[in-house]
Amino acid sequence: MTKGRKPIPTAIKEIRGTIQPCRVNKNEVKIDALEKLPSVPRWFTKTQRKIYKTKGDQLRMLGMLTPLDFELFISFCREYGNYIDTATELEKISLLTEMSESDENIFKRMSKINKESWERSKVIASEFGFTPSSRAKMIVPSSEDPTENDFSS
């Protein structure tokens, strides 16, 4: 028998606008979002640092980056940075020129790394709402008065 759907955290239900009091897990662990983005890991490349700062600030502003999510976010920055770096290197190689066997092996290896990094970063990105399909499921809360909701009491 299968396990069924993964439970959706209450914070994501709030962002999507699909929260219903009868379906809220009353025992759900509440974790506060990061107030400030920690310093960039020293071992990040220049590209990974840029991704860390831009996406980290975006997630922090939305209140979606918690201390528990941080390792997954670092993995996203690494994978997406690797994808961009290898794509940049692959663009420099002309496919019309003759390659030696060792150059061809390097090209194939870089192409494989590029593809794998893209796939891994895409999976992680969907967890944070970075993909169009995962973002379409979210609703940004408006600045309107929440008491004007038809379903509020």
Cα–Cα distance, 50 to 42 (Å, whole number) = 13
**Mean pLDDT highest for which of 14-18, 70-74, 90-94, 135-139?**
70-74
Q: What is the CA radius of gyration of the chain?
A: 20
- Token pair belonging to 43: 């071992």
pLDDT for 141 beyond 70:
no
CA angle 21, 32, 66 (to 5 degrees): 110
Instruction: For tokens 């009353």, name the residue.
Output: 26
List, as one string, the DSSP characters of 42-71: TT--HHHHHHHHHHHHHHHHHT---TTTHH
- Token pair belonging to 121: 């970063």
Cα–Cα distance, 25 to 21 (Å, whole number) = 9
Q: DSSP code of 129?
A: T
Give 97-126 pLDDT, tens digit per residue.
788 888 889 889 999 999 999 999 998 888
pLDDT at 111: 93
pLDDT at 32: 81
pLDDT at 137: 64
**68-81 mean pLDDT:** 92
- Token pair belonging to 116: 């794998």
Q: Which of 84, 104, 83 is nearest to 93 (CA)?
A: 104
Give 1-13 pLDDT, tens digit per residue.
677 777 777 777 7
